[in-house]
Amino acid sequence: MKRANPMRQRLAALGLLGIPLLTFPLVGLPGGEWGGVPMAYIYLFGIWSALVLLAAWVAERKAK
Amino acid sequence: MTKRILIVDDEPNIVISLEFLMKKEGFEVAIANDGEDALAKVASFNPDLMLLDVMMPRKSGYEVCEALRSDPSRGGLLIVMLTAKGRDTEVAKGLALGADAYVTKPFSTKDLVAKVKEMLAL
Amino acid sequence: MLSPAFILLLSALYMGALFAVARFGDARADAGRSIISANVYALSLAVYCTSWTFYGSVGRATSGGLSFLTIYLGPTLMLLFVGVIVKMIRISKAQRITSIADFIASRYGKSQLLAGLVTIIAVIGVVPYIALQLKAVAASLDVLFEGSGASLDGVLDSTFIIAAFLALFTILFGTRHLDATERHEGMVAAIAFESVVKLIAFIAVGLFVTYSMFNGFADIFERAKAAPALARLLQLDATRAGTWSALILLSGLAILLLPRQFQIIVVENVDETHLRRAVWLFPLYLVLINIFVLPLALGGMLHFGSQAANPDTFVLTLPLARGAEGLALLVFLGGLSAATGMVIVETIALSTMVCNDLVMPWLLRSRWLGVAERRDLSGLLLGIRRAAIVLILLLGYIYFRAAGEAYALVGIGLISFAAVAQFAPAMFGGMYWKQGTRAGAIAGLLGGFSVWLYTLLLPSFARSGWVDSSFVVDGLFGIEALRAQALFGLRGLDEISHALWWSLLVNIGLYVGVSLNSRPDAVEAGQAERFVDIYRHGAVDADQRLWRGSATPDELVGMLERFLGPQRAHQQLAAFASAHGVPDWRKLPADAAFVRFAEGQLSGAIGSASARVMVASVAREENIGLEEVLDILDEATQVRAYSRELEIKSRELEAATTELREANDRLRELDRMKDDFVSTVTHELRTPLTSIRALSEMLFDDPEMALDDRSRFLGIIVNEAERLTRLINQILDMAKLESGRAEWTSSEVDLGEVVREAMDSVGQLFREKGVALAGDFPAALPLVLADRDRLMQVTINLLSNAVKFVPGGSGQVDVRVGVRDGCVRVEVADNGPGLTAEECSLVFEKFRQGGNTLTGKPQGTGLGLPISKQIVEYFGGNLWVESTPGKGAKFIFTVPLPAPEA
């Protein structure tokens, strides 16, 4: 039977959140640099890592 | 020889009327007010026929009937059950327990007297 | 030190180690102790990171800056939609799917045509990708040999040697035996191992360049900013937003649709829950392997400056430039891992498809093989696969020779991505849209593939001069609108995005359009149901009814023996038989379950489309109409829903039945009680009537009766008539109380006054019998809300009962009124014979009079106390008796005081 799987839904929600965060125009927004490293680089890897960590938290949290 | 009749009922007024009725017909009459009394009177009075009420305290008419019918020495005793409960099951139960006749209250005095005389073959 | 011989020896040793890992994995799998854990599964997904990632990303970053990241963001996002992957896995397990071609063909009615088409697209599409790996390994070897001054070029074609070597290795890896499930646990373990090696190698070189050759990230970025040619790489180019999104979409599709990814994610999945790890661990891997890409690209450009160094090999040339030969070797092994991993899995997946979906259908149809021929075909199957592996690598080599030199690594890979993206509409449409038909899928695939060929593959040939490039420059037949990379004038996009949008537009348009205008046949409609509603059609109960026909067990067994080999076939048959409670598989009935089992086993070996043809050849199948199939499937779905409802309903029904039975019992009890009541009432009414009738008849019959008898009898008649009247009144009263139709008044009542009045009214009775009556009242009593007359009735009833039972002359009745526990309490105590504990409750039942027969039957109806109890309870009070035999009885009733106003 098809049941709403909360973990899958949370992950999908993360995916839906990630799409606008990781595409234009949002990715074009950060400019300048921080500590010598370009903001674009920090932004992309920051958002990306955050998505991955959130996914890890969601996926592993309620491991039955 | 005069026939003896034992009247067993817990209603004093019914006893009065039955006693009067039977004495008027020339029977020798004794009275009992409950089941145990009835069994004692059967032993002392040695009746030919008893008019036995069903609903009585301390031993019902059924129990009295049953006890008497299990005593072979009392084989000749005629038992007429009297009851105010007219249901068929009660009539059947009385007859099954060995009663010779069954009369429902209120009864017609003439009919009762006729039945008693018939049973005593008078 | 880096002599060719040493490098080749090292490579061979490394491959030997890989092989050992694979053997270990296979041995453990055979022993039933799988080494495929969630972590191994997640790492094996990193087969996605090929030479393209390892060498090509740096190259791409030197021209496109951060845009290389899109290839890894797409998979990260796609994996988050884990429900799609779970559904793919479920379907594949239920349908025994062995490849993506099998998946799509199976969905559209196990169509051989579709299976073949998908296979052809996959082979043509992926060949450039394999060429990419060859090119990368060749390039890396060149770099290393250059460092040692040696070169294989001129002596031998190094790329060809690499291709041959990989083919051999893949054959050893992937086709050791024919597995019914097409699972290769050893291979997966080796791939996971390689993933670790390439990550370590890449991070090592990243750290070396960033922190040893430069002073960390900031240093590289600062220096890059200073160089005008490099500064633009640090920012995202908003004018390429379209390409950015297109590449994310493309890579997101590729992570599922590339034959090797489908193989690893779906076919090789041993446990659905492993996805939980993969969904983040694989993206984390991608993050880690990409952190140093931009620093490496910038570092390489800063270091080599305008020298014509190939940016695709920066990861090797940078450490070599600093003499770090050991690191360079590690990097080489990492690159080798990336290339071999990809080639092994991809060619195994493709060879399975070629064998099952191209060669087998042809062999099965041709007379050459002869279905009646009883021969073990499992060897032939393996042979076909091995040949397919060699062929695919040969094609890769040819493409490399044809077009490879003209493209950077990433460009070649993206051509493949765009090719497999063509599977998306048929694939996802098939999983979520029942209306999608075979005709639609074929039309969409053909359309999309044609556009891909025209806009991407052929131009890549043209670029290397293999074909005339006029169709790219001037358009086909000189028509400008048909220019291959600016179709209908669409400009401003890179060639990949251009090809992607046009091909997907054509593909989706044709798939949807043709699907809506075609009708599926019965098999197809059945498969559509099973795919789309996989969560509902988990079991196979409905499936068995979908097959109707006859077969002989011998034919089925013979067929299995031929394709699986006798030993393996017998093993599977024995397992199937014991699962069905048949001790000997030779005694299996050739029923639908057996036929389905046989088809499933064959699907694992030769793909669903071929398996279907094979089974059809030995089983005389009756045609089941489309409507019937849909009915059966629909029914199965409904039946499941109904059975759930039914379960609930039957539980409800059971509960209702129990309730009903209880209610019925209660009713029967009530009926019996009513019957008893009527019988009792009759008895009570007939008793006085008997005396009255008997005595009046005697009076009537005997006018001569003595006067004192006459008056005595008349007295009795009068008394009995009174008794009858009283009885009838009380019965009616009781009936009214019980039915709730009694009329009540409610007013403030002083119970003390009521009791006094009652005592006055029965005073005469007491005096006549010589019984003493004493009352004890407090000065002032709180008022209660009640019906004064009813309470009077209760008190009088209690008093007259008391006087009935006490002995005349010495009788004593005491009445006390007081307040206790929020109630006004009235006690009537006598010194009569008392009641036994049993009698104490009996007296409140109807027609159950207390009393001792020795003293004669008491006067009364047997309804007084029940009526009194009902009255008192109506006002919220209680009526009970406390008594010890021989010591008198005390009747008590209470009426609660009104609740104090809050």
Q: What is the ipTM of this complex?
A: 0.93
| Rounded distance between C-alpha atoms, residue C373 and residue C875, angstroms | 100
Token duo for residue A49: 């890592």
The whole-number pLDDT of residue B5 equals 93
Instruction: For residue C167, give the 3-state DSSP assignment.
Output: helix
We report the CATH number of the domain holding residue C872 as 3.30.565.10
Total number of domains in chain C? 4
Contact A45 C291 (CB under 8 A): yes
B28 touching C (Cβ < 8 Å) = no
C729-743 residues labelled b (16+ CB within 10 A) or e (exposed): ebbebbeebeeeebe
The residue written with tokens 């979520």 in the block is C432
Question: What residues pair up with C879 in beta bridges, in sequence order?
Answer: C893
The residue written with tokens 């250059």 in the block is C146
The whole-number pLDDT of residue C752 equals 86
B107 touching C (Cβ < 8 Å) = yes
| Rounded distance between C-alpha atoms, residue C775 and residue C786, angstroms | 22
Distance from CA of A45 to the nearest CA of C (A): 7
| Rounded distance between C-alpha atoms, residue C835 and residue C830, angstroms | 11
Domain check: are C616 and C680 in the same one? no
**Could you give the maximum distance between any two Cα atoms of chain C, in Å?**
164
Q: Which subunits sit against C, judged by 3+ Cβ pairs under 8 A?
A: A, B
- Please indicate, yes or no, if residue C183 is contained in any of the structural domains: yes
Out of C79, C287, C535, name the one closest to residue A48 (CB): C287
Cα B90-B93-B96 angle, rounded to 5 deg: 150
Positions in chain A short of pLDDT 70: 1-4, 62-64
Strands B101-104 and C620-621: unpaired
- How many CB pairs below 8 Å do chains A and C form together? 106
* B vs A contact (3+ beta-carbon pairs below 8 A): no
Domain check: are C616 and C634 in the same one? no
Are the C-beta atoms of C843 and C851 separated by less than 8 Å?
A: no
| Rounded distance between C-alpha atoms, residue C109 and residue C612, angstroms | 10
Contact A63 C244 (CB under 8 A): no
The pLDDT tens digits for B47-74 are 999 999 888 877 888 888 888 888 888 8
Helix (H) or strand (E) segment spanning residue C786: strand C784-786
Burial of C28 (0-12, 13-18, 19+ CB in 10 A): middle
Helices (H), C149-215: 158-174, 185-207
C743 touching B (Cβ < 8 Å) = no
Are the C-beta atoms of B7 and B56 separated by less than 8 Å?
A: no
- DSSP letter at C374 equals -
Cα C610-C614-C619 angle, rounded to 5 deg: 145
- Please indicate, yes or no, if residue C224 is contained in any of the structural domains: yes
- Please indicate, yes or no, if residue C662 is contained in any of the structural domains: yes
Are the C-beta atoms of A22 and C248 separated by less than 8 Å?
A: yes
| Rounded distance between C-alpha atoms, residue C521 and residue C765, angstroms | 103
Domain check: are C229 and C319 in the same one? yes
Domain check: are C221 and C238 in the same one? yes
Domain that residue C692 falls in: 629-739
Contact A41 C221 (CB under 8 A): yes
Last residue of a domain, one of C595, C624, C653: C624
- CATH homologous superfamily of B4-119: Response regulator (3.40.50.2300)
- Please indicate, yes or no, if residue C645 is contained in any of the structural domains: yes
B17 touching C (Cβ < 8 Å) = yes
The alpha carbon of C565 is separated from its chain's Cα centroid by a whole number of angstroms, namely 37
Say whether the peptide bond before residue B106 is cis (omega within 30 degrees of 0): yes
Are the C-beta atoms of A24 and C244 separated by less than 8 Å?
A: yes
Burial of C871 (0-12, 13-18, 19+ CB in 10 A): buried
Domain check: are C601 and C677 in the same one? no
Out of C80, C221, C535, name the one closest to residue A36 (CB): C221
- Please indicate, yes or no, if residue C337 is contained in any of the structural domains: yes
The whole-number pLDDT of residue A62 equals 61
The whole-number pLDDT of residue C854 equals 36
Smallest Cα–Cα separation from C34: which of C201, C270, C243, C225?
Answer: C270
- DSSP letter at B80 equals E
Nearest CA in chain B to C675: B87
Are the C-beta atoms of C602 and C614 separated by less than 8 Å?
A: yes
Domain check: are C616 and C660 in the same one? no
| Rounded distance between C-alpha atoms, residue C124 and residue C263, angstroms | 18
Q: Provide, as residue numbers in chain C, all residues whose Cβ is less than 8 Å from the Cβ of A51.
A: 76, 80, 283
Distance from CA of C901 to the nearest CA of B (A): 52
Distance from CA of B5 to the nearest CA of C (A): 18
B33 touching C (Cβ < 8 Å) = yes
We report the CATH number of the domain holding residue C88 as 1.20.1730.10
| Rounded distance between C-alpha atoms, residue C170 and residue C162, angstroms | 12
The whole-number pLDDT of residue A11 equals 87
Domain check: are C735 and C775 in the same one? no
Are the C-beta atoms of C279 and C105 separated by less than 8 Å?
A: no
The whole-number pLDDT of residue C850 equals 53
Positions in chain C short of pLDDT 50: 154-155, 180, 371-372, 374, 539-542, 545, 851-857, 902
Q: Which long-range contacts (CB under 8 A, 24 or more apart) does C659-665 make?
A: none
Contact A52 C276 (CB under 8 A): no
Domain check: are C640 and C565 in the same one? no
Q: Provide, as residue numbers in chain A, all residues whose Cβ is less than 8 Å from the Cβ of C73.
A: 22, 48
The residue written with tokens 């005396």 in the block is C691
- Please indicate, yes or no, if residue C768 is contained in any of the structural domains: yes
The whole-number pLDDT of residue C625 equals 54
pLDDT higher than 80, residue B19: yes
